Amino acid sequence: MGIDSVKAIDRRGETELQRRAAAKTRSRGACPALAAPMATGDGLLVRLRPAGGALTLPQFTTLARAAAAHGNGILEITARGNLQIRGLQAETVAQLASDIDAAGITVPDGPAIEISPLHGIDPEEVSDPTAMELSLRGKLQDLLASPRLAPKLSIVVDGRGAFGLSALTADIRLVASSQTQWLVAINGDSETATPIVVGPAEAAVSAVGEVLSLLAKLGQGSRARDIDPALLRARFPAISEPRPLPSGVVKRPLAGLHRLADGKTVLGVRPEFGQMRAADLIALLDLAAAHGAAEIRLAPGRGFFLLGLAAEAAPAVQTAAAQCGFSAQAGENAEHIAACAGAGACGSAFYETRALARRILAAAPALFDGSLTLHLSGCAKGCAHARPALTLTGTAEGYDLILSGLAADRPDERIAGGRIDFAIERLARSIEDNRGAGESAAACLTRLGTTGVSKALRQD
């Protein structure tokens, strides 16, 4: 299949390739995620979230083998902690579905319900989100199956603990405020969402049902932000202004060894910029299994946790993970880069995001003091990062530099294709030269502003 055929999207936004793949998959009644593969620059892409974001090691290994056999062997973990398999063809999607079924991997139907990655095993978790997810799926089954809900509708259930979900935006978020009480908020992350109800689990489920009904009435494509505020106030008299919601214990980086409150060790690993080759993943999983790991949990931040490692073996697995191309140490600069699939993987991309990311890591360490995220986006769609960041968006002419914004925002500077390495080096040097004592890279960039940055980039 050529890129041209993938790009040949008809007026309804669906290619012939997608229709054929979807029809084959539906007829087998397999994993619902496989009913809607997306056309990209390297073939079809399937995104799936296994139940609870959890897989046994043999299941994850099966998925990796299937990705190599039926796709191009590239797997990704998204910023929300979902799994993507790339490079599939219309005729191989059904084979992947069959392998997923045979491995006993369950992918729940309906909108994704994302729950805290260490659910059920983190002693600091305030309440177990799996019970809440089960209640939602059991009591709101018909509403959740409504075709009038937006395909991208997101529901987050945050049990809090060591790794909560406070940074994930969601249409509907449920946060454990105590073992028996849940707070329901809509449209945002833990800083920006609007609280509508606090109460026991039944009240929280009922509130979610009300919000889903409102969304279903509004029609397909509607999101929580589209609900009339007056209607919301009438339905939820306890609604309040957005305020910081309860969140996890501390904000920890995903990568590295983590000792939970009960002494158990989990190892967080991140594939380089969220993308990994099946062979590397299989090598890591084999080694981890040999050291006692039994399960993985997908996690927001483009990575996963290995569970069950013997504490004394964990450092060896950590070292081996690095040899297999994974970040397994906290504080690596790559943590602060969000790069999309880029050219070679996505037909819309204007540049190779990962190659540029590696060059920037080597040439401009001054950018990575932890104060800012660098977002490398192959085009203005901005798949890799939905929050304001220092952004380089690929265009037909080169790169748009946005100092603090989204990929589609108006650029602060335009950089010609051949000058990108020079421009990045100038930007980093300008921060080094102008930063005041104790000033972060982000604060320095804000102070320099468009004028200061433009001046720095134009110097020869």
What is the contact surface with ligand SF4 in residues (CB under 6 A)? 340-341, 346, 348-349, 377-379, 381-383
Q: CB of residue 218 vs ligand SF4: minimum separation in angstroms?
A: 27
Q: CB of residue 288 vs ligand SF4: minimum separation in angstroms?
A: 29
Among candidate residues 289, 280, 279, the one with its CA nearest the CA of residue 313: 289
Cβ atoms < 10 Å from Cβ of 126: 23
| Closest CB to ligand SF4 among residues 7, 243 | 7
| Closest CB to ligand SF4 among residues 349, 357 | 349
Residue 77: partners with Cβ closer than 8 Å, 6 or more residues away? 83, 84, 270, 271, 274, 276, 298, 299, 302, 303, 304
Q: Which two tokens stand for residue 188?
A: 């945002």
Q: CB of residue 376 vs ligand SF4: minimum separation in angstroms?
A: 9
Q: CB of residue 348 vs ligand SF4: minimum separation in angstroms?
A: 4
| Closest CB to ligand SF4 among residues 392, 431 | 392
- Report phi then psi at 88, rounded to 5: -85, 160
| Closest CB to ligand SF4 among residues 207, 384 | 384
Using only C-alpha atoms, what is the Rg of the chain?
Answer: 22
Dihedral over alpha carbons 187, 183, 47, 139 (to 10 degrees):
-110
CA distance 9 to 18: 10
Residue 400 contacts residue 414 (beta carbons within 8 Å): yes
CA distance 225 to 25: 33
CA distance 95 to 87: 13
Work out the angle at residue 362's Cα, subtended by the Cα atoms of residues 356 and 367, and round it to the nearest 5 degrees.
85
Q: How many residues does the chain have?
A: 460
Q: CB of residue 73 vs ligand SF4: minimum separation in angstroms?
A: 18
Residue 435: partners with Cβ closer than 8 Å, 6 or more residues away? 441, 444
Q: CB of residue 204 vs ligand SF4: minimum separation in angstroms?
A: 34
Q: CB of residue 381 vs ligand SF4: minimum separation in angstroms?
A: 4
Q: CB of residue 117 vs ligand SF4: minimum separation in angstroms?
A: 24
Cβ atoms < 10 Å from Cβ of 16: 13
| Closest CB to ligand SF4 among residues 299, 343 | 343
| Closest CB to ligand SF4 among residues 316, 380 | 380
| Closest CB to ligand SF4 among residues 72, 130 | 72
| Closest CB to ligand SF4 among residues 82, 329 | 82
CA distance 305 to 257: 9
Q: CB of residue 377 vs ligand SF4: minimum separation in angstroms?
A: 5
Q: CB of residue 353 vs ligand SF4: minimum separation in angstroms?
A: 7
Helices (H), 103-173: 129-139, 141-144
| Closest CB to ligand SF4 among residues 172, 389 | 389
The residues facing 268 across adjacent strands are 256, 305
CA distance 338 to 435: 24
Q: Which residue is nearest to ligand SF4 (CB)?
A: 378
| Closest CB to ligand SF4 among residues 76, 122 | 76
